[in-house]
Amino acid sequence: MTEIRCIQVAINEQPQTAEVPTRMLLSDFLRYTVGLTGTHVGCEHGVCGCCTVLLNGDAVRSCLLFAVQADGAEVTTVESLTREGSLHPLQAAFRQEHALQCGFCTAGFLMTLIPFLRENPRPSASEIREAVSGNLCRCTGYVNIIRAVQSYVALSRNSP
Amino acid sequence: MKPAPFTYYDPHTLDEALGLLAVHGDAAKILAGGQSLVPLLNMRLAAPDVIVDINRLPDLDFVTTDNGLRVGALARQAMVERDAAVRDVAPLVTEAIAWVGHRQIRNRGTLVGSLAHADPAAEMPLVFLALDGELHLRRTSGSRRVSAGDFFVHIMTTALDPEEIATEASLPPVPPGSGSAFLEVARRHGDFAVAAIAVVVTIEAGRIRRARVALGGVGPTPLRATRAEERLVDEEPTNELFVEAALAASHDCEPVTDIHGTAEYRRELVRTMVYRGLGRAVVRARTGAAG
Ligand SMILES: Cc1cc2nc3c(=O)[nH]c(=O)nc-3n(C[C@H](O)[C@H](O)[C@H](O)COP(=O)(O)OP(=O)(O)OC[C@H]3O[C@@H](n4cnc5c(N)ncnc54)[C@H](O)[C@@H]3O)c2cc1C
């Protein structure tokens, strides 16, 4: 027996109404119901960080939330970063510094870093490392990821 | 994997939540931050018939610091971590909570949920034991308070009955002249502890009047190293004393050998960390520095 609930969620500022089974994970809801496949699912028990999205502005694991729990909330996914075809400066820095190899973990890194950099716009290298400690990159491309964040920080420092 | 089907309730009042637990008993599981429970559901290590999601309950997301520390069941670990007033009244909590998982986990996970989950290597149970914390438990027919020392019964087993909700965890004010320290060794940042220690000392007229030495990851629950505490009380804080107390602490536990480390290695970690922790705590007690 599968229970169904009707939920209302703002996803990337777009209000959505949907019927969801109560045991459906938010990660599956985003990918299969809404069709936003930028959020990746790696381990499905909270360890890898690939499914990180923002819930009311805070980075959380979407595989550890049920879609029904997002009723009334705002969810922000990696798809929100690119506006009118141009990459977010952090995405551009990832590209510039070769901070993605296979790309599977990238969305989770970006969605972890966006609120971190809002809170701490001038992080040290060790603060950046700690911030991404909950995201696994199995290509082990961490050095370039840290470098990308540093180059983004340097760029945003030079712009007004 | 995906969770097995369950009946989902998200009550909007505490009475409603307690009523559901009274009816469903141990067929129900409380869902708080979900950072321990949902992995278990996804891996089907747990398959409860009923989930009682407490996230919509009102008035439980508080952190107050006017008389000791009080943390409501829906206060997220990140909220406690960021609260500057918590650092003043319970610096040990602030020091240790940064070791709980990662920011994404702490944004959602609750401090009270971490106590209720009672992982033997978890940081918050250890800290609440060291600081003489209490849990406030509610059921339809009443309420009770349980000290941290009585709350942790065995691995992931607590004094909570299936029909009870822990609504709050609290710490008494720390006496003046106190200092504390938390140390942990984990394989990677954000992992559970291979071993961890928390110490609190209160110094009066140059002598240790009160000492708490608590150990995590080296037994089925967090433990008080009582022989180490006894060795410290009424003594002048000296390096030799710390060496002896640390050795006593390493014999106050029965660690196991597992994939993360051998029993001997854990005992050695306890000795080293208690020694260092005492040094730090005494300096902090003397200087009134945070911690
Ligand atoms: C990748 C990862 C790393 C982690 N690393 C650490 C770590 O290093 N250290 C650490 O301590 N933890 C760690 N955790 C666990 C995390 O701290 C959890 O948040 C915490 O253990 C449980 O809190 P919760 O609010 O998420 O509870 P839930 O997962 O919702 O519940 C956990 C258990 O407690 C019960 N429960 C919860 N709240 C109550 C209540 N108010 N009354 C009665 N019962 C209740 C539930 O029924 C359930 O059995 C990690 C988790 C993940 C996913």
Measure in Å the smallest separation between the Cα of B14 and chain A Cα atoms: 18
B93 touches A at CB < 8 Å: no
B104 touches A at CB < 8 Å: yes
Backbone φ/ψ region at A57: left (φ over 0), alpha (ψ -120 to 50), beta: left
Check residue A2 and give its pLDDT.
Answer: 77
Instruction: Please report the residues numbered 126 through 145 in chain A whose beta carbons come closer than 8 angstroms to any beta carbon of chain B.
Output: 130-131, 133-134
Residues A113/A149, Cβ–Cβ less than 8 Å = yes
Q: Report the topology of domain A89-158.
A: DNA polymerase; domain 1 (1.10.150)
Check residue A92 and give its pLDDT.
Answer: 97
Residues A132/A109, Cβ–Cβ less than 8 Å = yes
Interchain pair A23, B35: CB under 8 A: no
Instruction: Please report the residues numbered 34 through 73 in chain B whose beta carbons come closer than 8 angstroms to any beta carbon of chain A.
Output: 34-35, 38-39, 42-43, 51, 53, 55
Check residue B290 and give its pLDDT.
Answer: 53
User: Cα dist. A104→A37, A77, A135, B61 in Å?
Assistant: 11, 15, 11, 35
Interchain pair B78, A63: CB under 8 A: no
Provide the 3-class DSSP secondary structure of residue B22.
helix
CA of A63 to the centre of ligand 1 (A): 15
Which residues contact residue A85 at a Cβ distance below 8 angstroms, ignoring those fewer than 6 apart?
none
Check residue B189 and give its pLDDT.
Answer: 83
Residue of A7, A23, A120 to mutate when probing chain B, most B C-beta within 10 A = A23
What is the average pLDDT score of chain B? Answer: 96
Backbone φ/ψ region at A35: left (φ over 0), alpha (ψ -120 to 50), beta: left
Residue A130 has pLDDT above 90, yes or no: yes
Question: Which pLDDT tens digit goes with each residue over B183-230?
Answer: 999 988 888 899 999 999 999 999 999 999 999 999 999 999 999 999
Measure in Å the smallest separation between the Cα of B191 and chain A Cα atoms: 10
Closest C-alpha among A56, A52, A100 to residue A77: A52
Check residue A95 and give its pLDDT.
Answer: 96
Check residue A49 and give its pLDDT.
Answer: 98
Check residue B188 and give its pLDDT.
Answer: 85
Give the model's confidence band at B291: pLDDT under 50 very low, under 70 low, under 90 confident, else very high. low
All residues of chain A having their beta carbon less than 8 Å from the beta carbon of residue B3 are: 23, 25
Question: Which residue among A25, A45, A133 places its CB closest to the CB of B190?
Answer: A133
Measure in Å the smallest separation between the Cα of B34 and chain A Cα atoms: 6
Question: Which pLDDT tens digit goes with each residue over B17-32?
Answer: 999 999 999 999 999 9
Please give the residue of chain B at the shortest CA–CA distance from A27: B2
Counting Cα atoms < 13 Å in the Cβ hemisphere of B177 gives 10
Domains of chain A, residue spans: 4-80, 89-158
All residues of chain A having their beta carbon less than 8 Å from the beta carbon of residue B114 are: none
Check residue A30 and give its pLDDT.
Answer: 98
What is the layout of strands, in order, in the sheet containing A52-55? A14-21, A4-11, A74-76, A52-55, A58-61
Question: Which pLDDT tens digit goes with each residue over B70-107?
Answer: 999 999 999 999 999 999 999 999 999 999 999 999 99
A116 touches B at CB < 8 Å: yes
Residue B42 has pLDDT above 70, yes or no: yes
Backbone CA torsion sign across B256, B259, B264, B268: negative
Closest C-alpha among B193, B182, B185 to residue B219: B193
Question: Which residue among A1, A61, A130 places its CB closest to the CB of B104?
Answer: A61
Residue B132 has pLDDT above 70, yes or no: yes
Residues B112/B148, Cβ–Cβ less than 8 Å = no
Check residue A160 and give its pLDDT.
Answer: 57
Report DSSP letters for A60-108, one per residue.
Answer: EEGGGSBGGGGTT-EEE-GGGT-BTTB--HHHHHHHHTT--SS-TTHHH
User: What's the rounded Cα separation, in Å, for the pair B57 and B17?
Assistant: 8
Strands B152-154 and B157-158: antiparallel
Question: Which pLDDT tens digit goes with each residue over A95-119?
Answer: 999 999 999 999 999 999 999 999 9
B143 touches A at CB < 8 Å: no
Residue B136 has pLDDT above 80, yes or no: yes
Interchain pair A2, B5: CB under 8 A: yes
Give the model's confidence band at A158: pLDDT under 50 very low, under 70 low, under 90 confident, else very high. confident
Check residue B191 and give its pLDDT.
Answer: 84
All residues of chain B having their beta carbon less than 8 Å from the beta carbon of residue A28 are: 2
Interchain pair B55, A52: CB under 8 A: no
Question: Which residue among B35, B53, B190 places its CB closest to the CB of A69?
Answer: B53
Check residue B289 and give its pLDDT.
Answer: 62
Interchain pair A69, B39: CB under 8 A: no
- Cβ pairs A/B, distance under 8 A: 84
The superfamily CATH assigns to domain A4-80 is: Beta-grasp domain (3.10.20.30)
Residue of A6, A54, A64 to mutate when probing chain B, most B C-beta within 10 A = A64
Question: Which pLDDT tens digit goes with each residue over A29-86?
Answer: 999 999 999 999 999 999 999 999 999 999 999 999 999 999 999 999 999 999 888 9
Number of neighbours of residue B205 by Cβ within 10 angstroms: 7
Backbone CA torsion sign across A46, A50, A51, A56: positive
Nearest CA to ligand 1 atom 19: B109
Interchain pair B39, A65: CB under 8 A: no
| C-alpha Rg value of chain B to the nearest Å | 19
Check residue B77 and give its pLDDT.
Answer: 98
Residue of A66, A137, A142 to mutate when probing chain B, most B C-beta within 10 A = A66
First to last CA, chain B: 42
Counting Cα atoms < 13 Å in the Cβ hemisphere of A36 gives 21
Which residue's structure tokens are 């050095």? Answer: A143
